[in-house]
Amino acid sequence: MSYVDEVLEKVVAKNPAEPEFHQAVKEVLESLRPVIEANEERYRKEALLERLVEPDRQFKFRVPWVDDKGQVQVNTGYRVQFNNSIGPYKGGLRLHPSVNLGIIKFLGFEQIFKNSLTGLPIGGGKGGSDFDPKGKSDREVMAFCQSFMPELCKYIGADTDVPAGDIGTGAREIGYMFGQYKRIKGLYEGVLTGKGLTYGGSLVRTEATGYGLLYLTREMLKCNGHDIAGKTVVVSGAGNVAIYAIEKAQQMGAKVVTCSDSTGWVYDPEGIDLAALKEIKEVKRARLTEYKNYRPNSEYHEGRGVWTVKCDVALPCATQNELHLEDAKTLVSNGCIAVAEGANMPTTMEATEYLQKNGVLFAPGKAANAGGVATSALEMSQNSERLSWTFEEVDSKLQSIMVNIFHNLDDAAKRYGKEGDYVAGANIAGFEKVANAMLAQGVA
């Protein structure tokens, strides 16, 4: 049996009931086959793949807190420190009722390669909780965050592990967590990124994932003879990534006609009204059903459906496995030319393969959404030198990082005879740096 197949089998056997983790490992290892085959003897002897798929350590802990009725609630907290061979662990905290160890492990595993692709010195980690911030008062969210941190703070630090936002964790949650870390440790350090601008945050971090997604998408389109200006774009999600992807797409002259949340989706043929969307989601924390009050000519539909809308470019920006094979078929038959993942692993493997086979340009999340974590690393740099850079300075660094990422994965794909396969390119380019560092640092 090939080394890759052997390791894939072991991952499933050793980590039962973690389907998302299996999926993430399978996608990466499948596309690394040519690299592994070229170095099989050495990698086997070094157990390089076994070491790569086993987190350095994982923490699971109780998070008790008191709700507004005086009732004690209990959630589960997680932090998985996956690989720190190229820098301190770095990755977000997801707060969503669906969170379990397998989901955090898939996200942490993806983060290793994503962080490597940024070219910055950050390792892979991820954490979160099954706590649902939706519908909770600010006081309840603070109570949760203040109970989450006393345990989490034992494992993190500016030079060891630096968490940030993800689904359900935005500036409000990061603020409460930072305040609690500071109280417990008595340390004012860059232990979290995505902080507010008055206490060590970086300009552009809020916008970074969505903006970065568009910088990479524009480069991918340009290198394949297309211009983002004038394109019709469909976006899923209505959170941090989706909102700033829509903003940048509009600034680039594209027309974005959809967005969605977990209850339904909006089709606005004249183009999404960004000010209305920001007010609904960022200020009121309300449902998309409200969008029609601002835009009477738009349509609201329950359930999922953004991929049925005719488009040139599709940007999944909500969550994992939200774009299925059937959706991919619809996109292809509607003439879609490019899909770029703002979310982590939003496209199933079958859908990805179908899109690629049918000539759709496909940018995987670990490359396309790397602008968020890259700007987090820029926030870490600013915290270390105790300075703040201007918006223009951070934004221009973000642009070069995203353009570089695209060319790195394009080149890596070409080196292995897989021109245009950006999934393979991203996995190979991300892996090479981490593998070199692991081998250089000995058995660890």
Closest residue to ligand 2IT, judged by C-beta, is 92
Nearest to 164 by CA among 237, 97, 114: 114
**Given the residues 105, 126, 366, 397, the one annotated as active site:** 126
Piece of 12-20, 183-191, 238-246, 306-314 that binds ligand NDP (CB under 6 A): 238-246
Touching ligand 2IT, residues 107-136 (CB under 6 A): 114
Size of the site for ligand NDP (CB under 6 A): 23
Three-state DSSP class for 437?
Answer: helix
Least separation in angstroms between CB 155 and ligand NDP: 20
Residue at token pair 């390119």: 425
Q: With the C-alpha atoms ordered 186, 208, 210, 403, is the resulting torsion angle positive or negative?
A: negative
Q: Which is nearer to ligand 2IT, 114 or 218 (CB)?
A: 114
Q: How far apart are CA 438 and CA 141, in angstroms?
A: 39
Q: Is 126 a catalytic residue?
A: yes
Q: What are the strands, taking DSSP E only, across 100-254?
A: 123-129, 161-164, 232-236
Q: What are the strands, taking DSSP E only, across 101-210?
A: 123-129, 161-164
237 binds, among ligand NDP, ligand 2IT, none (CB under 5 to 8 A by kind): ligand NDP
Q: How far apart are CA 11 and CA 50, in angstroms?
A: 9
Q: How far apart are CA 278 and CA 122, in angstroms?
A: 31
H-only helix segments in 298-421: 325-333, 349-357, 365-368, 370-385, 391-415
Q: Which is nearer to ligand NDP, 3 or 406 (CB)?
A: 406
Dihedral class, residue 177 (left if φ above 0, else alpha if ψ from -120 to 50, else beta): alpha
Least separation in angstroms between CB 347 and ligand NDP: 11
Helices (H) and strands (E) in the chain, counts: 17, 12
Q: Which is nearer to ligand NDP, 7 or 374 (CB)?
A: 374
Nearest to 63 by CA among 134, 130, 112: 130
Piece of 29-37, 232-240, 294-302, 424-432 that binds ligand NDP (CB under 6 A): 232-240
Task: Map residues 58-97 to x or -, x wherever contact with ligand 2IT holds by CB under 6 A.
Answer: --------------------------------xxx-----
Closest residue to ligand NDP, judged by C-beta, is 239
Size of the site for ligand 2IT (CB under 6 A): 11
For the chain, report the end-to-end CA distance as a whole number of angstroms.
26
Q: How far apart are CA 263 and CA 369, in angstroms?
A: 24
Among 318, 331, 378, 434, binds ligand NDP (CB under 6 A): 318
Three-state DSSP class for 39?
Answer: coil
Q: Does 369 bind ligand NDP (CB under 6 A)?
A: yes
Touching ligand NDP, residues 240-259 (CB under 6 A): 240-242
Least separation in angstroms between CB 170 and ligand 2IT: 11
Q: How far apart are CA 287 and CA 265, in angstroms?
A: 10
Task: Map residues 67-106 to x or -, x wherever contact with ligand NDP holds by CB under 6 A.
Answer: -------------------------------x--------
- Positions marked catalytic: 126
- Catalog residues that contact ligand NDP under the rule CB under 6 A: 98, 165-168, 209, 237-242, 261-263, 317-319, 342-344, 369, 372
- Catalog residues that contact ligand 2IT under the rule CB under 6 A: 90-92, 114, 164, 166, 193, 344, 372-373, 376
